[in-house]
Amino acid sequence: MNGLVRRPALALGLIGLLSLAAVGAALVSQHVFGMKPCPWCILQRLVFAVIGVVCLAGAVLRARPAVAGAGFVALVLAALGAVAALYQHFVAARSASCNLTLADRIVSGTRLDALLPEVFEVRASCAEAAVDLLGLPYEFWSLALFLVIAVALVMLVLRRKA
């Protein structure tokens, strides 16, 4: 990571690609392995997509303010994504219905569920979507990736200030 910190645009680009790869993995889980997403799953998917777009835009623009701005926005989004993953596990997954929750309102408010239903349409309740992957709840994998992204962005910011 030390070499990447010296090249922040490259680091942002890799973070952006990693975030979009997370969306791709979620789509494979859904469409190939039949894991139906709940509103909180879709919200995390949306956060990863936005992190990807923001980081790739910062990487393409390369100007110091663009890189710093993209890094800051992505860091805030990664923190919000981590909170969403924790909420999904500790609250939403124990609920019979997650209809009209904050996640449901955000997803439907973006209208992405209607525009790109194969990517952003909710297809299960939170309780139904509670599945494990390699012995860990699926949302913990999401949480781990949000934390990796956040740590990488913090390292990028701290290194650039030093």
pLDDT at 80: 97
Alpha-carbon distance values, 44 to 55, 62, 109, 143 (Å): 16, 27, 15, 9
What is the rounded distance in angstroms from the CA atom of residue 17 to the CA atom of residue 152? Answer: 14
For 52-141, list the strands marked E by DSSP. Answer: 132-133, 136-137
Mean pLDDT by 10 residues, the chain (162 residues): 67 97 96 91 97 97 90 97 93 71 88 91 77 83 97 83 52
pLDDT at 100: 67
By residue range, what is the domain housing residue 57?
2-161
Q: Which of 3, 41, 47 is nearest to 150 (CA)?
A: 47
**In the chain, how many domains are there?**
1
Q: Nearest 5 degrees, angle CA 97-CA 25-CA 122?
A: 25
Write down the pTM of the prediction: 0.90
pLDDT at 96: 65
What is the rounded distance in angstroms from the CA atom of residue 87 to the CA atom of residue 57? Answer: 29
pLDDT at 1: 47
The domain that contains 84 carries what CATH number? Answer: 1.20.1550.10
